Amino acid sequence: MGYDSDPDWTIFVDVLGSDPDLTDSVRGRVVHVYLNPKKRISLVGADFSAFKSYSYTDSRDPNVGGTVYYDKFGLRYSVYAKDRPDGRFHAGDLESIIYGPSEEETAKYRR
């Protein structure tokens, strides 16, 4: 489900569906909230020292990739590693802010 009426952000909400493998206790819960900027927000020089990080690339498009900075509470900042071919976003710009389950909560469901 996405909300596109804000002039600065597109907001997506992921909700767990009716997969028969899911228990009733998790079905219908919000999994992630994504905030995608419509305009450039440079994070060059931002201090992410309190966050862990990992880098990623899109297997379908090697020009797409970046770094995700995350904390143990479920907050993630995804930052572009390269300029986008269309010129809208540049390396170091915010790709999205993602909020989801904490590391502790995620670990419960991996067992």
List the chain domain ranges: 2-110
How many Å apart are CA 48 and CA 9, to the nearest integer? 22
Q: Using alpha carbons only, what angle is made at residue 77 by residues 72 and 82, rounded to the nearest 5 degrees?
A: 140
pLDDT of residue 15: 82
Q: Which amino acid is present at 4?
A: D
Short-list 7, 56, 1, 66, CA closest to 32: 1
Global model pTM greater than 0.85: no
pLDDT of residue 3: 82
CB neighbours of residue 73 within 10 Å: 12
**Residue burial 31-59, b: 16+ Cβ < 10 Å; e: rest:** eeebebeeeeeebeeeeeeebeeeeeeee
10: tokens are: 């597109």
How many Å apart are CA 5 and CA 13, to the nearest integer? 14
Interval 46-105: pLDDT, tens: 999 999 999 988 878 777 789 999 999 999 999 999 998 888 999 999 999 999 988 887
Interval 10-20: pLDDT, tens: 999 988 776 66
pLDDT of residue 18: 67
pLDDT of residue 30: 79
Short-list 80, 111, 108, CA closest to 95: 80
